[in-house]
């Protein structure tokens, strides 16, 4: 809770600094001199409300959406020994990392993948694919589950939601400022916002959203290294390394966009800029180095 509070205070401070900076740079004066009536402070509040609001709504419905997007079925009563072992593994790891027992689900995919989601660390969901259960050893599965449990224990869902809220705020704010400048300053429209404003705002929002997504994905990639070490601590470095090597041998099916940041796979090439995961090779090297340091 303290981490979330500090992050929120930081975001509020960023918005306040942005408001002061825009005023000191004379942006308000430039707009006013060209017949603009844009209220930057009101726009900042509007942007923050909608930016954070959208991010938190997504977080609150994340479990509901995850189950429907992946057709994941929560294990209410284990139907076989593997499901029973999976429940026991998650329960043991939950005790170790200090969180409540999350829901455990299996989703029907032949690919090896897994994800975690939920509004908080004590109301989470861990899901693994049927392909992962069929293809990996128990040690490797334990490591993948530990990776996802580390995401939950570290509060990564909330952290990325807060970052997404900040990004959303800036995208909404600057896209409308750009649209306003084009409409009032360049097109000289002083009778309410015209088509130039709406077209420019829409275009700017798309471009800024694409650029801003690289920031969120960069943070997500950093969190993956931390989750890998968590999985290694819970299941052993070699099991985590073996699981990653197994994943690197095949091309896993992509998770829905809303869940990609909390999965276990990665992308390659230019797409890596927009990937929520670092290259598997880099993750393996980091774990091997950490294992050697601990010997």
Task: Please write down the HEC assignment for all residues of the chain.
Answer: CHHHHHHHHHHHHHHHHHHHHHHHCCHHHHHHHCCCCCCHHHHHHHHHHHHHHHHHHHHHCHHHHHHHHHCCEECCCCCCHHHHHHHHHHHHHHHHHCCCCCEEEEECCCCCCEEEEECCCCCEEEEEEHHHHHHCCHHHHHHHHHHHHHHHHCCHHHHHHHHHHHHHHHHHHHHHHHHHHHHHHHCCCCCCCCHHHHHHHHHHHHHHHHHHHHHHHHHHHHHHHHHHHHHHHHHCHHHHHHHHHHHHCCCCCCCCHHHHHHCCCCCCHHHHHHCCCCCHHHHHHHHHHHHHHHC
pLDDT (0 to 100) of residue 38: 72
Domain limits, the chain: 1-65+143-295
- Where residue 2 falls among pLDDT bands split at 50, 70, 90? very low
Q: What's the mean pLDDT in 79-87?
A: 95
What predicted TM-score, i.e. pTM, was given to this entire model? 0.80
- Where residue 92 falls among pLDDT bands split at 50, 70, 90? very high
pLDDT (0 to 100) of residue 16: 61
pLDDT (0 to 100) of residue 262: 46
pLDDT (0 to 100) of residue 189: 72
Tell me if residue 251 is catalytic. no
pLDDT (0 to 100) of residue 56: 87
pLDDT (0 to 100) of residue 49: 85
Among the listed residues 148, 251, 257, 285, the single catalytic one is: 148
Q: What's the mean pLDDT in 96-123?
A: 93
Q: What is the pLDDT of residues 136-150, one digit of tens each?
A: 999 999 999 999 999
- Where residue 44 falls among pLDDT bands split at 50, 70, 90? confident
pLDDT (0 to 100) of residue 254: 52
Q: What's the mean pLDDT in 155-181?
A: 89
With a cut of 60, say whether residue 264 has pLDDT above it.
no
């Amino acid at each position: 809770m303290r981490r979330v509070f500090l992050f929120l205070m930081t975001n509020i401070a960023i918005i306040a600094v942005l408001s002061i900076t825009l005023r000191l740079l004379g942006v308000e004066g430039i707009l006013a001199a060209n017949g603009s009536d844009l209220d930057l402070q009101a726009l900042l509040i509007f942007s923050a409300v909608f930016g954070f609001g959208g991010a938190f709504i997504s977080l609150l419905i994340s479990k509901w959406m995850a189950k429907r997007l992946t057709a994941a079925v929560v294990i209410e009563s284990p139907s076989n020994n593997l499901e029973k072992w999976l429940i026991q593994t998650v329960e043991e790891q939950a005790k170790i990392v200090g969180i409540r027992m999350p829901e455990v689900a299996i989703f029907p995919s032949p690919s090896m993948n897994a994800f975690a989601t939920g509004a908080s660390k004590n109301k989470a969901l861990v899901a693994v694919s049927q392909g992962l259960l069929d293809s990996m050893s128990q040690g490797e599965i334990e490591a993948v589950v530990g990776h996802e449990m580390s995401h939950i224990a570290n509060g990564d869902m909330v952290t990325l939601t807060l970052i997404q809220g900040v990004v959303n705020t800036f995208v909404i704010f600057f896209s409308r400022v750009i649209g306003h400048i084009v409409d009032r300053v360049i097109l000289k429209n002083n009778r309410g916002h015209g088509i130039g404003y709406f077209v420019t705002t829409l275009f700017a929002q798309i471009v800024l959203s694409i650029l801003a997504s690289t920031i969120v994905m960069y943070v997500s990639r950093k969190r993956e290294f931390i989750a890998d070490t968590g999985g290694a601590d819970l299941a052993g470095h070699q099991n985590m390394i073996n699981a990653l090597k197994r994943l690197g041998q095949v091309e896993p099916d992509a998770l829905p966009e809303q869940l990609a940041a909390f999965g276990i796979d990665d992308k390659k090439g230019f797409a890596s800029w927009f990937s929520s995961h670092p290259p598997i090779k880099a993750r393996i090297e980091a774990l091997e180095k950490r294992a050697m340091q601990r010997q």
